[in-house]
Chains A and B, each alone.
Chain A
Amino acid sequence: MKPLALVCLLIVSIPAQAHRLVVFAYAEGLQVQGSVRYAGGGGAAGVAVRIREGESDTTLMLQTDPEGRFHFRARRPVDHRILATSSTGHQARWHLSAEEFSPASVADPPAPAQRASSYFAPVPASENARDEHLELSESQHPPQAPAEYSPPASRAVDAQLEAAIEGAVARQLGPLRAELQQFRHEVRLSDVLGGLGSIFGLAGLYLWWRSRRGEPRR
């Protein structure tokens, strides 16, 4: 009777379930948008997010905002390992691979500064500015080299257009991917029934095994 009541309660409370931490991040150019949520629940506020850049020891520490979101600007288009740790000890990981930083957008001038500025604390502002200049000067070299083969103006427009398209696609796809990721971690009724079935099935198997073993003796 009690399990039945529990199952009823469970069916009512599935959408409110919040126990496991899930982190997700995607890149728009070098700008990385991320969110930390409880599986099937709302955003996880104030969760510490540690970002490791490639194989280096450079780490960036962030805190999620009240909606569980975080964003930062990557310095280089390399693999980023993201680790979220809540105050209660839950952990979640996400791997942002280098391929996700689209090459055209990476060369693009940085996104509006005010979007990222408040999350820049661990990276000193001056150093950051220098990095951006570095990226810009680097990215200007390749278009200059093949300039003889195509008119510079259309080349620049092409690159800009490509970057804009890639940025737009990333912006559209990002939330969709986040939703997909969240959906994947939601506990579904099939999970619950599968687990219950496994428990009773295992009990039956054990009983059967015990009875088989006991048979010859009786």
Chain B
Amino acid sequence: MPHWFWIAFLIIHLLSWGWFFLIRRDEKAFLESQIWVLGKENVSWVKTKALRLYKLLYSFGLLFVTIFSFILFFFL
């Protein structure tokens, strides 16, 4: 693969991870506003196990795409 390809590859992944952290920040901000309304004792109604699972799948999926695409294009 040419050099410009690797530069574009790096930029795309940096933007992708940047967007991931922005989403996480926004999700935390909304969760805080939900907790403010419902009270800390009711946090389990909004901070659910499913939400934790989605966040985990989101980050692992992204990590998988980053690593897999690097290996795939590097050895291509």
* A-B complex is real: no
A residues at B contact (CB < 8 Å): none
B residues at A contact (CB < 8 Å): none
